[in-house]
Amino acid sequence: EPEVTQTPSHQVTQMGQEVILRCVPISNHLYFYWYRQILGQKVEFLVSFYNNEISEKSEIFDDQFSVERPDGSNFTLKIRSTKLEDSAMYFCASSERGAGGRDTQYFGPGTRLTVL
């Protein structure tokens, strides 16, 4: 069964450093998402991406964050200058379509980001 994959599983970085989290969505999916889950808190939506553009983003997704689909398979989340409060589990998800039919989002296993 196809699944979303994410690398690395755990990333440790120093405050102020740039990190790139990588995701490979399910191959026939067209919509891609990032969510985060700070330890002990709810899963929160960050951004959705379709047709090489951001389609929606939350107030969390500020100028420190960017997303990109650099090739036909990868989807990345970049945090330019990490802060302590960016420490969280980051989940990538994908769906065949957006709002409407076949829009169920399938999640990857997550990348745990630790900012020291």
Partner 1 sequence: AQTVTQSQPEMSVQEAETVTLSCTYDTSESDYYLFWYKQPPSRQMILVIRQEAYKQQNATENRFSVNFQKAAKSFSLKISDSQLGDAAMYFCAYRSAPHNDMRFGAGTRLTVKP
Site for partner 1 in 75-104 (CB under 8 A): 89, 91, 95, 98-100, 103-104
Give, as ranges, the residues between 55 and 74 that touch partner 1 (CB under 8 A). 55-56, 58
Among positions 38, 43, 73, 78, the unique one binding partner 1 when judged by CB under 8 A: 43
In the complex, what is the shortest distance from the CB of residue 43 to partner 1, in angstroms, rounded to a whole number?
A: 4
- Residues near 41 by beta carbon (within 8 Å), at least 6 away in sequence: none
Give CA–CA dist 63/83, Å, rounded: 13
d(Cα 54, Cα 45) in Å, to the nearest integer? 13
- What is the contact surface with partner 1 in residues (CB under 8 A)? 31, 33, 35, 41-45, 48, 55-56, 58, 89, 91, 95, 98-100, 103-110
